[in-house]
Amino acid sequence: MDFTHQKHNRYSVLTIDETNIDNIKASELKSEIILLNAEGIKNIILDMEKVKFIDSSGLGAILIGDRECKKSRGTFVVTNPSKQVFQLIKISQLHNILNIIPTLKESIDFVLLEELERDLRAENVGHSE
Q: Each residue of 10-51: pLDDT tens digit?
A: 999 999 999 999 999 999 999 999 999 999 999 999 999 999
Residue 86 class from Cβ within 10 Å (0-12 exposed, 13-18 middle, 19+ buried)?
Answer: middle
> pLDDT digit string (tens) for 53-102?
999 999 999 999 999 999 999 999 999 999 999 999 999 999 999 999 99
DSSP string, 13-29: EEEE--SEE-HHHHHHH
Q: What is the pLDDT of residue 128?
A: 53
Give backbone dihedrals phi and psi of 49, rounded to 5 degrees, phi first.
-55, -40
pLDDT greater than 80 at residue 127: no
Are 52 and 19 contacting, i.e. CB atoms less than 8 angstroms apart? yes
Categorize the per-residue pLDDT at 126 as very low, low, confident or very high, splitting at 50, 70 and 90: low
Calculate the dihedral angle through the C-alpha atoms of 5, 62, 93, 17, rounding to the nearest 10 degrees.
40
| Cross-strand pairs, 22 | none
Total length of the chain: 129
Domains, the chain, ranges and CATH? 3-128 (3.30.750.24)
pLDDT greater than 90 at residue 1: no
DSSP state of 40: T
Flag whether the pTM goes above 0.85: yes
> pLDDT digit string (tens) for 59-72?
999 999 999 999 99
> pLDDT digit string (tens) for 2-12?
999 999 999 99
